[in-house]
Amino acid sequence: MARYSDEIIDEVRQTNDIVDIVSQYVHLKRSGRNYFGLCPFHNEKSPSFSVSPEKQIFHCFGCGVGGNVFTFLTKIEGINFVEAVQMLAERANIQLPALDNNLDNAKEQLKAKVYKVNEFAAKYYHENLYKPEAKEAQEYVKKRKLSNDTLIAFQIGFSGKFDELYKELKKQGFEDREILESGLVNRNDRGQYIDRYRNRLMFPICDVRGRVIAFGGRVLDDSKPKYINSPENIVYSKGRHLFRIKCCKKI
């Protein structure tokens, strides 16, 4: 497996303070030289999870887990070391050299496509919300007192009818397997492609890098189920993302 040089890994580590990174997942409080919080890796009521800004490491006195900023990210995000380096490099605007056998991998390519499908869908749903056909959804958000700033910041949207999203995705050149993998469209027994979310208020769910990984969809009336969520897929794992479901853009 390809890897980055030690120099670049060091640079990435030094430009990402572990306290900043851990704080995105754990509420930390300073106590003496270290920070403490509730361990995200085991269930506890009093904080035994510590972070040392001097040593740039974390350690849990409860379950024994510990390591540096990369270890923390691999564990909390369920990603591998290379992905953790990439994530932190991006955050610090460090340009990484290309790793050849990384993107060659068919799985990585499919993942990249699914992120693109999700990104397009989020934009499509959001724009839909402002169309005349979305009158019912517009009334709903008004009733809920969601300001336009909130709608924009959270990229809240509205899903259309039968296979509207599917058709749009095909127009964008996505392949059926990429679309199906996103979980946004299902194929029925007769081979028809049908949007998973129809006539629902849409909430994109993003990872720490701001990539859309899943959606939640709410009905506008009292019909059931009130909410549906994306199924687990190549970019979305409920267990892994449970700790930090937050929106793409901050408000």
Burial class (CB in 10 A: 0-12, 13-18, 19+), 69: buried
Q: Which of 12, 18, 21, 39 binds Zn ion (CB under 5 A)?
A: 39
> Tokens representing 17?
């303070």
Among the candidate windows 20-28, 60-68, 166-174, 201-209, which touches Zn ion by CB under 5 A? 60-68
Instruction: Tell me whether residue 49 or residue 140 sits nearer to Zn ion (CB atom).
Output: 49
Helices 81-91 + 69-77 axis angle, to 10: 110
CB of 54 to Zn ion, least distance (A): 21
Q: Which of residues 62-81 bind Zn ion (CB under 5 A)?
A: 62-63
Q: What tokens appear for 173 in the block?
A: 């050149």
Q: What strands lie across the sheet with 212-219, from one edge to the other?
A: 157-158, 200-206, 212-219, 227-229
Identified binder of Zn ion from the candidate list 27, 42, 55, 161, rule CB under 5 A? 42
CB nearer Zn ion, residue 76 or residue 202: 76
Angle in degrees, 0-180, between the axes of helices 6-15 and 69-77, rounded to the nearest 10: 80
The reply on whether position 41 binds Zn ion by CB under 5 A is yes
* Nearest CB to Zn ion, comparing residues 4 and 36: 36
Provide the binding-site residues for Zn ion, judged by CB under 5 A: 39, 41-42, 60, 62-63
